[in-house]
A = this chain, B = another copy of it.
Amino acid sequence: MASMEATELRELGQQFRVDSIRCAAAAKSGHPTSGMSAADLMAVLVANHLRYDFDDPKNPGNDRLVFSKGHASTLLYAIFRAAGAISDEELLEYRSFGSILEGHPTPLIPWVDVATGSLGQGLPIGVGMALAGKYLDRLPSRVWVLCGDSEMAEGSMWEAFEHAAHYELDNLTAIIDVNRLGQRGETMVGWDVDVYRDRAHAFGWEAIEIDGHDVEAIERAYTEAASTSGKPTVVIARTIKGKGVKAVENQPGWHGKALDDPDAAIEELGGVRNIQVEVSKPAKGEAHRFAEGELELPRYELGDEVATRKAYGEALAALGGARGDVVALDGEVGNSTFAEIFAKAHPDRYFEMYIAEQQLLAAAVGLQARGWNVFASTFAAFFSRAYDFIRMAAISRANLRLAGSHAGISIGEDGPSQMALEDIASLRAIHSSTVLHPCDANQTAKLVAAMADTEGIVFLRTLRPNTPVIYDADEEFAVGGSRVVRSSDEDDVTLVGAGVTVHEALKAAEALEEEGIGARVIDLYSIKPIDADTLQAAAEATGRIITVEDHFPEGGVGEAVIAALANSDERPRVVQLAVREMPRSGKAEELLSAYGIDAEHIAAAARQLVSAKVAAS
């Protein structure tokens, strides 16, 4: 390699600085000084090391370049201009409405795989990409991640360090731009770069310390990184924020601002340049593909007692047999989520992520960015640990399948720390999300299969306890649908449940029938998208709705139902049953009763609602 010599590399670095200043000046905002510190690091990379086909960004043989310090977007866009991917005019539309060159990079740009801008995410996502390259695609591509030094304070970076070493990701290179200055002052480490070296070593990485403005040292470092085997490499580069422009160089107070006098700065840097970089293309090569077969989902007998989490694991293993693109991850609870069934069936496509939910999510994002169909599981409560990663995954336009087990108080004795009671709300609020909550094993199996073809962030909420199989194995369940489990022409009230509360609602309906109250029961297994038509029909038929959910009241099943009916002609009276206290440990039945979401409470609420309406009319 080494096609570009030092003199020209230095010029290219200056061009990147100038372009960073120019586009920020045009936008009157941005983080030019953060791009200027890393300009030489990127000049050497794109000129002499990166293998990337800008005309074929999905080529599995491409290297991947991730700007974990997403605020340095001016630098990334300067690279795109130098590579001929965008014009100078496009560069100068930076941050303007309609431009794909947003304040922080997103995959609206064809050459950006994942959104960054929430710090500490690019490196763990890079781990996922490197896992894909080494163990799934099995191609000699490399993953390069430009990290800021401020973001080294994020624990997620150390999750990435640990996992990358554990999986011996010698195809991953992290480049830390140690410019010392964060948004409001110095980092905890400052320029004491040996600290980063010692930490990297302690986490099992190769570490190379360099002056990040010495293009020859950078060149040597990347060459060494590429030839290091059995472990990832971090290039720790001491740099100067705002390098090259005296007015801002190594000065606090210049984070996230366009320069005061861009023309003078550009002159100081030697003026505008138009160096074009011929980025090397990857060698030809096909990504590995796994065997595929017929889909044979598990089938459960009506009346059997099966936990939906168990059905998840069995269905996922079946799906993996049918589709070679399916990959599964779990956060060290695979014997609880039953991801272990997939792991045993398809060990080559399973990655243990240990108790590191941020890395779990980030790896999933990285894997899907390389075209894999990823299912990630842990307790539903613990996806909250990675909520920012899920939020950013939506901005990444990622397709992710998340399975959260042990939802709600029905888990029993383990207590509230293990109970997901905010998951429906928080995941409904994610843009592009789908939220599914099956109540029986056959339904779960069908939905697991549907997840693989559903775009966006798809969340499946499963249960710890066994629940009776109430649907035939041949029934179909579409995303966005619901099931009227029980109805008559003379229903007085509609009971809407999901998951464990469907079974409680059915019991309540039986009890109510004996008292002459007709109760329709809707299984709202697809909470988002929601089946507004069926709810509307029930509203018209019964005029009263009781929603019941094993979740806190805000943002869950009840509010989803109420919102779906709010702009309709017929707006029924709705009573929301939900968990309204902080639950305690106890048996599942005790808790369902104590917190007012069991059959008895549903029936009581129905009696009251029906009599109130009668009294009012």
CA distance A103 to B421 in the complex (A): 17
Q: Are A417 and B429 in contact (CB under 8 A)?
A: no
Q: Are B562 and A566 in contact (CB under 8 A)?
A: yes
Task: Give the residue name and chain of the B residue nearest to A432 (CB).
Answer: B582
Judged by a CB distance under 8 angstroms, whether A590 is at the interface is yes
Residue among A30, A392, A415, A587 having the largest count of chain B Cβ atoms under 10 Å: A415
Q: Which of B120, B394, B425 contacts A582 (CB 8 A)?
A: B394
CA distance A392 to B417 in the complex (A): 7
Judged by a CB distance under 8 angstroms, whether A276 is at the interface is no
Judged by a CB distance under 8 angstroms, whether A102 is at the interface is yes
Give the A interface residue count (CB, 8 A). 114
- The answer to whether residues A418 and B104 also contact, given A567-B574, A571-B571 and a CB cut-off of 8 A, is yes
CB distance from A302 to the nearest CB of B (A): 30
- Chain B residues with Cβ below 8 Å from A27 are 413
CB distance from A512 to the nearest CB of B (A): 19
- Chain B residues with Cβ below 8 Å from A118 are 381-382, 385, 417
Judged by a CB distance under 8 angstroms, whether A177 is at the interface is no
CB distance from A455 to the nearest CB of B (A): 13
Q: Are B96 and A333 in contact (CB under 8 A)?
A: no
- The answer to whether residues A184 and B333 also contact, given A417-B118, A425-B429 and a CB cut-off of 8 A, is yes
Task: Give the residue name and chain of the B residue nearest to A544 (CB).
Answer: B567
CB distance from A593 to the nearest CB of B (A): 10
Task: Give the residue name and chain of the B residue nearest to A353 (CB).
Answer: B153
Judged by a CB distance under 8 angstroms, whether A356 is at the interface is yes
Q: 1/0 per position for A566-605, CB-CB distance to B under 8 A? A: 1111011111100001101111001100100000000000
Judged by a CB distance under 8 angstroms, whether A534 is at the interface is no
Judged by a CB distance under 8 angstroms, whether A183 is at the interface is yes
Task: Give the residue name and chain of the B residue nearest to A425 (CB).
Answer: B429
CB distance from A505 to the nearest CB of B (A): 18
Q: Are B104 and A414 in contact (CB under 8 A)?
A: yes
Q: Are B395 and A388 in contact (CB under 8 A)?
A: no
- Chain B residues with Cβ below 8 Å from A594 are 97
| Chain A contacts to B: CB under 8 angstroms | 27, 29-30, 70, 95-99, 102-104, 106, 108, 115-120, 150-151, 153-159, 162-163, 166, 182-185, 187-188, 195, 198-199, 201-203, 332-336, 340, 352, 354-359, 381-382, 384-385, 387-388, 391-392, 394-395, 397, 413-418, 421-422, 425-426, 428-432, 528, 552-556, 558-560, 562-563, 566-569, 571-576, 581-582, 584-587, 590-591, 594, 616
Additional A-B contacts beyond A154-B356, A563-B563 (15; CB < 8 A): A27-B413, A70-B417, A103-B414, A103-B415, A103-B585, A153-B354, A153-B356, A184-B332, A199-B202, A381-B391, A382-B388, A421-B429, A431-B552, A559-B562, A567-B574
